[in-house]
Chain A
Amino acid sequence: MDVDDAVVLTLAVWVVITSILVKTVDVYVTLLLIGLLVVAEVAGSFIKPETKQGLKPAIYFLLFIFLVIVARKVMEVLS
């Protein structure tokens, strides 16, 4: 099993655990983002450079959703 397989397996386990334990979409998506960020940081030195570049759009997309969730929560508190 090479590093790529280990990364995909780790994320798959993370997805299964979080989808079992978490019931709300906003917390779930935030946890997916955290998982992806941790994996990209820890395994970043061992995965192919273009793969690391390829993960960035997914990270940016999840970060955008996270910002939307934060903005919604702030609006809820303010209203």
Chain B
Amino acid sequence: MKAKHIAGTLLISIGAVLTLQGAVDANQSMVNAGIGGVFLGVVILTFSTSDYIKYDAFRAVVQPYAELTRSLANTLELKNKAVYIPPYDNLRDGGVFVPLHDDFDVDLAKLDGDMMFITDVGREKEMGLLLKPLGKELMKMYESYSEMEFTNAGIQVVENASAVLRAIGLAKSVTVEEDEDRIRVYLEGVGVEMCSAACEQIACPVCSSILLSIAKSLQELILVENFRFEDGFIEISAKKIGGIERWM
């Protein structure tokens, strides 16, 4: 049991006893002190609900996985940039499709969550790598914080990610701009130092969560065009390439 749990429980217990004693003795100050104790105990218990690991530990754990997935894309000689697929019946958490060729096609009706290497297809331009998005858990946190599902909620809801990313120390702000079929995302104060040119194929969990959120909020497939990064600032250019029905 953590110190915060012990302190919170102790304060609630002492507060409850003081409140009861104050009520019996008709001592208003004691009742107030008791209520204050219970109040503080509840606040302390609330603040001890979860712990976040230190950034160095996070990086040490996540970076090898990110490198593994990127080396997978390199080994398969995938040349095209990633396509973010919003969640739909076959892929409940959405997906990231890295096509084999620039001139690609994807049949969403043939995909499902158990597939990874899309090779058993009639045409070569449908081949590629299908991954679960690395940012799906972060996106769930954004939705939980916003108290709404992002499905068809409009692109601006994605900026709610700012509050979550700032609170957990991964980025300071997220700005999303939409211009017809073009999308630009600006991430400032990004604490994750694992972005590289490979992000255009397999992005880090932070960028992946933003792109997946955009795909979900618009219910459209998003093709990554360009990643630009310098000193904690990331600019992502992406393009809307049509809804789920179009790719079925």
**Interface presence of B60 (CB below 8 A):** no
Contacting residue for B32 out of A7, A11, A22, A54, CB 8 A: A22
Q: How far is the CA of A66 from the CA of B39 in the complex (A)?
A: 15
* A49 touching B163 in the complex, CB below 8 Å, given contacts A18-B36, A25-B35, A54-B49: yes
Beta-carbon contact of B47 and A7 below 8 Å: yes
**Count of residues in A whose CB is under 8 Å from the partner chain:** 30
* Chain B, residue nearest A21 (CB): B32
Q: Which of B18-73 contact A (CB under 8 A)?
A: 28-29, 31-33, 35-36, 39-40, 42-44, 46-47, 49-50, 52
Contacting residue for B28 out of A18, A25, A51, CB 8 A: A25
Q: Contact flags (1/0) for A13-55 with B, using CB distance below 8 Å?
A: 0011011001111001100100010000000111111111111
Beta-carbon contact of A54 and B46 below 8 Å: yes
Contacting residue for A51 out of B29, B46, B163, CB 8 A: B46
* Chain B, residue nearest A44 (CB): B163
**Interface presence of A70 (CB below 8 A):** no
Chain A contacts of B164 at CB under 8 A? 49
* A19 touching B46 in the complex, CB below 8 Å, given contacts A48-B168, A49-B164: no
**Interface presence of B167 (CB below 8 A):** yes
Most chain B beta-carbon contacts within 10 A, residue among A36, A49, A50, A58: A49
Chain B contacts of A22 at CB under 8 A? 32
**Interface presence of B166 (CB below 8 A):** yes
Beta-carbon contact of B36 and A19 below 8 Å: yes
**Interface presence of B241 (CB below 8 A):** no
Contacting residue for A55 out of B28, B46, B167, B168, CB 8 A: B46
Q: How far is the CA of A58 from the CA of B46 in the complex (A)?
A: 9
Beta-carbon contact of A49 and B144 below 8 Å: yes
* Chain B, residue nearest A45 (CB): B163
Beta-carbon contact of A12 and B40 below 8 Å: yes
Q: How far is the CA of A36 from the CA of B33 in the complex (A)?
A: 17
**Interface presence of B76 (CB below 8 A):** no
**Interface presence of B117 (CB below 8 A):** no
B26 CB to closest chain A CB, in angstroms? 12
Contacting residue for B50 out of A24, A32, A50, CB 8 A: A50
**Interface presence of A68 (CB below 8 A):** no
Q: Which of B134-172 contact A (CB under 8 A)?
A: 141, 144-145, 163-164, 166-168
- Chain A contacts to B: CB under 8 angstroms: 4, 7-8, 11-12, 15-16, 18-19, 22-25, 28-29, 32, 36, 44-55, 58
What are 16 sample pairs from A and B whose C-beta atoms fall under 8 A apart?
A4-B47, A7-B47, A12-B40, A19-B36, A23-B28, A23-B32, A25-B31, A25-B32, A29-B35, A47-B47, A49-B144, A49-B163, A51-B50, A54-B46, A58-B39, A58-B43
Nearest first, the 7 closest Cβ-Cβ pairs linking A and B are A54-B46, A49-B145, A15-B36, A19-B32, A19-B36, A4-B47, A28-B32
- Chain B contacts to A: CB under 8 angstroms: 28-29, 31-33, 35-36, 39-40, 42-44, 46-47, 49-50, 52, 141, 144-145, 163-164, 166-168
